[in-house]
Chain A
């Protein structure tokens, strides 16, 4: 029988590590072999990631656009940092949204970073759904504790307190306005990409 493959495909700074490492923790806790279910995470879209195994489950993640850009601005590094004027906020937003839509088209599951902060239990149950497992109270308790830890290097995680709204402390008024201009111009879903406004 072919192996099952779980692919987490999304833009950077949208909570993909949170999701991937969470899925790995579930796999470990439920004693599922890594040879039985492979897990990978990517910030690019390649058809071969999903086409080469018929048993592939794709998951994508998204986050409030302002929070993505704020996280990029806080991040000290190259990969996911926002480096004006080398790139513009408009370009960064466009890259994130385009990649999200590419993955969304092929995804079986969609996760929202903010959901993790607002309703962690619901988010965790959704992660178990990826494995098609009905979680027990023990499973949920384990994952509630597991997700308390920081999953990557101190520089990568820029929101250690897991605050819901950080962009106001990080971005300038002009930068926030650039994001609103992008949302208006591209006519994208405000409920999703400006998610924290509706809370």
Chain B
């Protein structure tokens, strides 16, 4: 996951990264 996010890091992708991280957290973590 970390590598995937790193590969996306470039200007203009901020909201996309935010979106992926939050979706991932909702699906795989319990405390949200």
Query: Could you list which residues of chain A lie within 8 angstroms of chain B, going by C-beta atoms?
Result: 3, 5, 7, 20-21, 24, 34, 38-42, 48-49, 52-53, 151-152
Contact = CB atoms under 8 A, between A and B. Distances in A.
A34 B23 contact: no
* Interface of A: prevailing SS: mixed
**In the complex, which range does the number of interface residues on chain B fall in?**
10 to 19
Contacts of B19: 20-21, 24, 39-41
B15 A24 contact: yes
A38 B26 contact: yes
Given A5-B26, A38-B25, A40-B22, A152 B16 contact: yes
Contacts of A151: 15
Given A24-B18, A151-B15, A5 B32 contact: yes
B32 A41 contact: no
A38 B18 CA distance: 10
Could you say which of B16, B23, B25, B26 has the most chain A C-beta atoms within 10 Å of its C-beta? B26
Nearest to A150: B12
Contact of A34 (B18, B27, B30): B18
